């Protein structure tokens, strides 16, 4: 039996949405929720407000305070507009860039966002069609905007949408701007406070000019143009998985010199229903299946992909037996940084102030590669806003070579401050051409890297717990891991625990506690074992799940051991997850 007090409370909240200030469609949907016998959907829609978090909004679309709809998007935009007007009050004209992906309602939410900004006297550069997230970051910097918004739920299932807020440097906001924006958004307590009437004179569509400039700047990242020319006919399958990558990716690959790009026609169709996949996530083999079939048909050895807002990449390579292997996000990041570092060494471009960035849950193999080449490797929290923060702090003292995270995101350039599949996929294709010059494909290059820098294997596991009860369960799991940490994992003693909620690093052998140098705290736990394994645990900031990241080390003496070591490592990871109670 559901808690009667909770049902009564959410019903009262919902009844406020039956007033005349809400449109007829919304009122009808709320009325149906109230009258339904099963109160679970009503509770999920109204038990709390959809929080404007440090990354913006993300949630299921529908009527309700805990849903993505014109009122929650309007409140977020009005709050952000108020903060911008206070922060930049001395500017004669505040401006923002607004983009959107292919999701259902994305155009609607983007136009609403533009309307609210313009109604507040803010100039809006609105993209003329679905565009990649990194292009919005680029436009903010290129057009000198003070902020920007991208309407997207990234690779989430089709029922979701979201709202990413950016600052003037093209990065998602961090303190103090994220905290202050949240305060201003929370001050919007009534629909009547939202200015919905657009000033169309302040809304300017942008498109091809920005596309062309963006593609030109991405092409400046090319490190092996001669390899691209030699392998211009290399067969590359690319799929945008129904998303915005279609806008720029084909043109970028052509500009880099690749002429034999094979489409997956069904997935070139831009649709928020994502009709050919269960989930439009390039890290899932199911989402890549059609592209892999196209590669088999055509004999292509390289498959590239991007998610719906074209910030994440997908990569499939052919192994020496002719099987197609999905490359994980850690490996993509490792391959790209290996390539960029190696080419900088080959081209004698290093002057001693270079650095790369990875997140704390990303493979430590990257640090081994950087260390061996005397390049600084910097750790940061999960999320590209933290990689952008490192870039901001290093702007005058270091040269950024690249950065990435395990969740299939990479950034090679400084003129964008968010992950970018357009530049990343272009570089992957170039890396494949460069490897071909050395008689290897990307699979063989991957094995070569492990042989030189040491073998490791990673796996990420997400435990989904939706709704109010799920949130409470995730909180309890984190509490238990802190109070009862594992003593051993897969038979190896845990020797170090890093808790980013208080920034304490505890050496379990010596009992010493060292403070970690991070800009703020975060709800993340890490366990390190004597055998060199690393486990990270963190609740997602955007989805109802808790994530486990496991990285294990195995001794690799020859390249021929690789496939066997993968099996050994996967069993090793299984044992660690079993010890953690994760299924």
Angular region, 23: left φ>0, alpha ψ -120 to 50, beta rest: beta
Cα–Cα distance measured from residue 314 to residue 312, given in angstroms and rounded to the nearest whole number: 7
Give dist(CA 375, CA 389) in Å, integer.
19
Q: What is the pLDDT of residues 292-348, one digit of tens each?
A: 999 999 999 899 999 999 999 999 999 988 999 999 999 999 999 999 999 999 999
> Quick check: helix, strand or coil at residue 568?
helix
Strand partners, 238: 263, 304
Average pLDDT of every residue of the chain: 96
Rounded Cα–Cα distance for residues 63 and 580 (Å): 38
| pLDDT at residue number 4 | 87
Measured CA to CA, the distance from residue 162 to residue 69 in angstroms comes to: 10
pLDDT digits (tens, 9 = 90+) for 511-529: 999 999 999 999 999 999 9
DSSP state of 270: -
pLDDT of 420: 98
Interhelix angle 4-15/24-35, nearest 10 degrees = 160
Confidence check: pLDDT of 132 > 60: yes
- Please compute the mean of the pLDDT values over residues 236-251 and round it to a whole number: 98
Structure tokens, 468: 């109010």
pLDDT, residue 1, reads: 39
CA distances to 36, 199, 330, 412 from 99, in Å: 37, 18, 28, 22
Structural domains in the chain, sorted by start: 48-210 (3.40.120.10), 232-453 (3.40.120.10), 455-580 (3.30.310)
Q: Give the least confident one: 135-139, 174-178, 201-205, 253-257.
A: 174-178
pLDDT number for residue 488: 98
Quick check: 364 pLDDT over 70?
Answer: yes
Instruction: Tell me how far apart the alpha carbons of residues 527 and 212 are, in angstroms, rounded to a whole number.
Output: 46
What is the arithmetic mean of pLDDT over 285-297?
97
Q: What is the DSSP letter of 68?
A: B
Stated as kind and residue range, the H or E segment containing 31 is: helix 24-35
pLDDT (mean) for 557-570: 96
Output the pLDDT for position 542. Answer: 65
pTM, two decimal places: 0.94
Among candidate residues 75, 154, 301, 536, the one labeled active-site is 154
- Residue 2 pLDDT greater than 70, yes or no: no
The pLDDT tens digits of the residues spanning 442-477 come to 999 999 999 999 999 999 999 999 887 888 999 999
Is residue 423 annotated as a catalytic residue, yes or no?
no
Classify residue 306 by burial, with Cβ atoms within 10 Å: 0-12, 13-18, 19+. Answer: buried
């Amino acid at each position: 039996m559901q808690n009667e007090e909770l049902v009564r409370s959410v019903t009262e909240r919902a009844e406020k949405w039956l007033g005349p200030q809400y449109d007829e469609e919304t009122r009808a949907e709320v009325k149906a929720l109230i009258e339904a016998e099963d109160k679970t959907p009503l509770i999920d829609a109204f038990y709390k407000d959809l929080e404007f978090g440090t990354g913006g909004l993300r949630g299921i679309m529908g009527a309700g305070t805990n849903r993505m709809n014109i009122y929650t998007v309007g409140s977020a935009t009005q709050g952000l507009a108020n903060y911008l007007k206070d922060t930049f009050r001395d500017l004669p004209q505040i401006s923002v860039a607004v983009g959107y992906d292919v999701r259902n309602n994305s155009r609607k939410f983007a136009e609403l966002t533009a309307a609210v900004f313009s109604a507040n006297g803010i100039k809006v550069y609105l993209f003329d069609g679905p565009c990649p997230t990194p292009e919005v970051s680029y436009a903010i910097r290129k057009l000198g905007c003070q902020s920007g918004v991208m309407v997207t739920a990234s690779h989430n299932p089709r029922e979701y949408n979201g709202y990413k807020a950016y600052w003037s440097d093209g990065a998602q906001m961090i303190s103090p701007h994220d905290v202050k924006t949240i305060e201003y958004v929370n001050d919007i307590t009534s629909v009547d406070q939202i200015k919905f009437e657009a000033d169309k004179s302040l809304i300017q569509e942008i498109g091809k000019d920005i596309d062309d400039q963006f593609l030109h700047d991405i092409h400046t990242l090319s490190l092996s143009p001669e390899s691209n020319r030699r392998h211009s006919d290399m067969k590359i399958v690319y799929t945008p998985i129904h998303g915005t990558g279609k806008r720029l990716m084909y043109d970028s690959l052509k500009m880099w010199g690749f002429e034999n790009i094979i489409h997956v026609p069904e997935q070139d169709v831009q649709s928020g229903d994502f009709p050919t996949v269960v989930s439009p996530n390039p890290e899932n083999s199911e989402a890549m299946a059609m592209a892999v079939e196209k590669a088999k048909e055509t004999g292509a050895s390289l498959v590239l992909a991007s998610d719906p807002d074209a910030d994440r990449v997908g990569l499939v390579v052919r192994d020496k037996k002719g099987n197609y292997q999905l490359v994980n996000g850690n490996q993509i990041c490792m391959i790209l940084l290996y390539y960029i570092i190696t080419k900088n060494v080959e081209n004698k471009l290093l002057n001693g102030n270079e650095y790369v960035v990875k997140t704390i849950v990303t493979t430590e193999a990257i640090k081994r590669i950087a260390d061996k080449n005397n390049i600084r490797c910097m750790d940061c929290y999960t999320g590209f806003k933290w990689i952008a923060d490192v870039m901001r702090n290093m702007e005058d003292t270091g040269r950024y070579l690249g950065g990435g995270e395990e969740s299939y995101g990479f950034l090679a350039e400084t003129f964008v401050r968010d992950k970018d599949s357009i530049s990343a996929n272009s570089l992957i294709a170039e890396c494949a051409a460069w490897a071909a010059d050395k008689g290897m494909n990307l699979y063989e290059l991957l094995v070569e890297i492990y042989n030189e820098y040491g073998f490791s294997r990673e796996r990420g596991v997400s435990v989904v717990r939706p709704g109010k009860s799920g949130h409470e369960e995730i909180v309890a799991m984190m509490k238990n891991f802190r109070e009862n940490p594992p003593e051993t994992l897969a038979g190896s003693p845990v020797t170090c625990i890093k808790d980013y909620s208080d920034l304490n690093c505890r050496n379990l052998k010596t009992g010493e506690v060292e403070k970690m140098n991070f800009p703020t705290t975060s709800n993340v736990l890490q366990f390190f074992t004597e055998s060199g394994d690393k486990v990270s645990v963190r609740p997602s900031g955007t989805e109802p799940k808790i994530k486990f990241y496991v990285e294990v080390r195995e001794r690799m003496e020859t390249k021929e051991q690789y496939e066997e070591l993968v099996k050994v490592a996967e069993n090793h990871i299984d044992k660690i997850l079993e010890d953690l109670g994760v299924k």
